[in-house]
Every structure is written in C-alpha cells, then in structure tokens.
Amino acid sequence: MIENLSSDLLARIVRMALDRGASDAEAIGISSSEFSVEVRLGEVEKLTEATSRGIGLRVLRHGRQASCSTSDTGEAAIEDLVSTAVDLASRTSVDEAATLPPASEMATNIPDLQICDPEVAAIPTATRVELAREAEAAARAADSRIVNSEGAAFSSVTSEVTLVSSAGFAGSYRSSLCSLAVAPIAREGQQMQVGYWGDRRRRLRDLQSAREIGEIAARRALRKLGARKVSTGTFPVVFENTAAEDLLRDLFEAVNGGAIFRRASFLVGRLGEAIASPLVTIVDDGILPGGSGSRPFDGDGLPSRRTVVINQGVLESYLLNSYTARKLNLPSTGNATRGLTGAPSIGVGNFFLAPGVSTPDEIIRSVPNGFYVTETIGFGFNPVTGDYSRGAAGWWISNGELAFPVEEVTIAGNLRDMLRGIEMTGDDLHLRGKIASPTIKIDRMTVSGD
C-alpha cells in the first residue's frame, strides 16, 4: 500500500515557502512500493520489500534558486525543509532563466496513459518467485552447456508522483513497472560466457513470458561461446536492435537541451540541418499508451508530448525542459524530469528510431565482410565532440553469413559520421524499455582487435 503524500500537504509546503519569502515554490512528493526477488539455481536468494517516500522542494527568490529534499515526512522535518530551502535561495546568484513556467503552458488534464496496472501490486509473492524460477529453469534447460547462473530476478514498483507549484499547477499520477530478467552462464572448455535477457513493462500482461525470457537468455550466452578477437581494420558494422539502443542513448546526450545551451554537444547550432542518413527518423513519445517512459506531465508540470527529433535525417528538435527552452529561446518539449533533489533535468519519454523495411537477415546478408555487434561495453562516448570508442562483442559476418563469435575488440568512429553512414534500418523495433531501436547498418567503423 502506498501512503499518499497528498497534494494538500504539498500545497501547504508551497504556501509555507511563499510565506517565508519565496517568490515561487514547487513541491514534489514521490511515494513508492517496491518488491524484488532474486532466484539462483532454483532457490530464493534475496527478497526485498519496502515502501518509501520523500518530498522535494524547489524555491525561487526572484531568480535565486535552491532545492531541498527529505525522506523524513514528519512535521519538524518539513519545517526544516522549508526554512533551509528559503534560506539557501537567498544565497545563490540571480539566474534570469530560473522561473517557473507560466500556468498557460502547464498540463490542465491528466490523460490516462495506461501506465498503472493494479495487477502489478496485487501479484502474490509466490507467483513472483515462480516467474523468476521459471525464467531461470527455462534458461538452464535449454542446453547442457548452460552450467551456471547469475540468477533471475523479478521486480516490481508502483509509485505515485504529485507535483504542486505556486504557478498554479497541481497534478498527480500513479505508475507501475515490472521486470523479469535472467543471466545464465554457458561454458565450453575454459571459456565462460554470460547471457542477459529481460523485459520491463508498465503492465504485467505485456511482460514477455518467463519461458521465452529464459530461452532467449540461454541463446545469448551460448552464441558467445568460442568468441575470439579479429584483426584491426575498417568494416561495415551492423548493430543488433538491442545493441543499437546504446547508440540512441548516446544520441540523447547530444540532443539534450542541457548539453546544447552549455555548448557541450556536437549538435549545437544544427537545427534544420541534415545530420543523418534519410533513413533516420527518431521520435520521443512521452504519451505512448502503456509506454515505460510515458507520463502525463513532465517535471515542470507541462503536458508530455510526442516530439520528432530527427525527421528523415534532418535535426528538427532538441529535447528541452522549461529552463533550457528559455536559455535557447525555444518552446519546451515537455522533457523535464524531476527527482526529489535539484532543479529539473532532462530525460526521454519513449525514445526510438523508427523501423525500416529490411529484415535483420537481409541486413546481415548485405554485408560481405563486417561485424555484427550484439553487445557494447563501457562509457566511450564524448557528446562534446561526437567521438565514439567502445568495447564490443558479437559475430563476424563473412559473405552475408554469421561466421564466428567475436569478443575483446573495440569499435570506433564519430557519431556525426555514424549517423550519416546508416545504410539500412531493420523492421525489428520492439519498445521494451524507454529507449529502443531496430537493427541498423553503419557503412564503416574502425574495428580494433589484434
């Protein structure tokens, strides 16, 4: 059960802040119930269950801003929260762009985006344990070379977010999220390989079946057995759909309004220009029914929306919250995200590359000699320059066929060139998490190995 942090309580906190000298104030309450179970080799290993809540308060004093939060929701703590925030906001600098968005921009109705499934909170513990067991059992039964497991986990969280601001906004929504994942380990000779697979959904009925998750995870572990390095060179690179998600994550950093106004992105000043192959259309949809990234309003209280970021290769929009929109003199795209602490930052809704017409097989068959990337590892992307260099694993493609598994290599290039070099996009887009992509083929990257 979630205990409410009512909008009445938050409205009272906002009033307290105004009474003490704030020119504007915004309070957020987040309460959540979480559950997780981890099963390993058939036995329950960890079981966690808890409810938690916290309150955040952002205070403005004529352009001076401060932000405080507490997980203690008692009266004395709230008193302290307000007085600290109001006091801190008298010490920071005047920032002309630090204002609350006007009431006219704020969400006036809260659409039902089907992001809260009451079933998620109602599943009996035994069923949750069983789902994790079943996923792991399916993975272990898949092949005699699956000899071990890092375990399987089922977790769920239901939460309620309430936002109240002195600019006239008060809104609240509930959401749920459940996930099931498993990591079996395959062994052949001296080589051990782990395979991960999982699914993450707002609604329990959308979750991939435990058996399917287990079988896919086993396949992902098995297909890595026998992997080796390859020689260094420049080759076409195909990213499997799940690996291509990582590229979209990088691209998000570069279209993030925070990086744009700080001039910390290679996409500064490029609106309206062709920055990618005409095959590339990238959308951020914050109102997709049932989407993991959907929410009725953003962290500024603005309605969520659908934004075309890249349209057939042309950069049409950055992703902005109110603050960065003001800094850039553009309208907000409703992408503010707000934790308990700090000013609103920017996050995706459901951010995806639109599917193309080719099947993944057709894409692989088009490559005479190249690399099929199924996993990337590391943090080797620099949004300021676009430079990209990451560890990778996958398969070598010879004459359009997957020839042998590859590991311990890097792939490198610059995202600027990689976006232009997208030659094919797959028809295999699956919106599981907040970020998704179909399989893509990039004309050339440096593969570094021996």
Among positions 106-125, residues that touch another protein (CB under 8 A) are none
148 near another protein, rule: CB under 8 A: yes
Fill in the amino acid letter for 86: V
Q: What is the DSSP string of 122-162?
A: HS-HHHHHHHHHHHHHHHHHS-TTEEEEEEEEEEEEEEEEE
182 vs 39: CA distance, rounded Å:
9
Tell me how far, at minimum, the Cβ of 151 lies from another protein, in Å: 8
Element housing 46 (H / E): strand 43-61
Rounded to the nearest angstrom, the gap between the alpha carbon of residue 12 and the centroid of all alpha carbons in its chain is 33
94 near another protein, rule: CB under 8 A: yes
The pair phi, psi for residue 303, each rounded to 5°, is -65, 140
Question: Measured from the CB atom, is 129 or 429 closer to another protein?
Answer: 129
Contact 348, 333 (CB under 8 A): no
Question: Measured from the CB atom, is 285 or 300 closer to another protein?
Answer: 300
331 vs 314: CA distance, rounded Å:
19
CA distances from 230 to 8, 151, 410, 447, 449 (A): 63, 31, 10, 8, 5
Q: Which of residues 300-319 bind another protein (CB under 8 A)?
A: none
Q: Which of residues 408-427 bind another protein (CB under 8 A)?
A: 408-414
Tell me how far, at minimum, the Cβ of 362 lies from another protein, in Å: 28
Q: Which of residues 251-270 bind another protein (CB under 8 A)?
A: 262-264, 266, 268
From 36-44, 129-137, 156-164, 211-219, span contacting another protein (CB under 8 A): 36-44
Burial of 2 per CB tally in 10 Å (0-12, 13-18, 19+): middle
149 vs 196: CA distance, rounded Å:
10
Tell me how far, at minimum, the Cβ of 183 lies from another protein, in Å: 8
Question: Measured from the CB atom, is 120 or 418 closer to another protein?
Answer: 418
Query: For another protein, which residue of 407, 423, 428, 443 counts as binding (CB under 8 A)?
Result: 407
Instruction: Compute the C-alpha angle 430/432/438, nearest 5°.
Output: 30
Question: Measured from the CB atom, is 352 or 388 closer to another protein?
Answer: 388
377 near another protein, rule: CB under 8 A: yes
Q: Which of residues 381-400 bind another protein (CB under 8 A)?
A: 382, 384-385, 387, 389-391, 393
Query: For another protein, which residue of 46, 110, 112, 141 counts as binding (CB under 8 A)?
Result: 46
Tell me how far, at minimum, the Cβ of 126 lies from another protein, in Å: 12
132 near another protein, rule: CB under 8 A: no
- Give me 293's structure tokens: 């990234």
Tell me how far, at minimum, the Cβ of 329 lies from another protein, in Å: 15
Tell me how far, at minimum, the Cβ of 294 lies from another protein, in Å: 22
Tell me how far, at minimum, the Cβ of 431 lies from another protein, in Å: 22
Q: What is the DSSP string of 373-413?
A: EEEEES--B-TTT-EEEEEEEEEEEETTEEEEEEEEEEEEE
237 near another protein, rule: CB under 8 A: no
From 14-22, 210-218, 301-309, 372-380, span contacting another protein (CB under 8 A): 372-380
- Give me 21's structure tokens: 């000298």
CA distances from 296 to 14, 305, 349 (A): 22, 9, 10
Contact code string over 155-194 relative to another protein, x by CB under 8 A: ------------------------------x-----xxxx
273 near another protein, rule: CB under 8 A: no
Provide the total of helices (H) and of strands (E) in the chain, helices listed first: 10, 20
Tell me how far, at minimum, the Cβ of 274 lies from another protein, in Å: 18
Q: Which of residues 63-92 bind another protein (CB under 8 A)?
A: 65-74, 77, 80-81, 84-85, 88-89, 91-92
- Site size for another protein (CB under 8 A): 81
277 vs 358: CA distance, rounded Å:
15
Query: For another protein, which residue of 11, 44, 157, 328 counts as binding (CB under 8 A)?
Result: 44
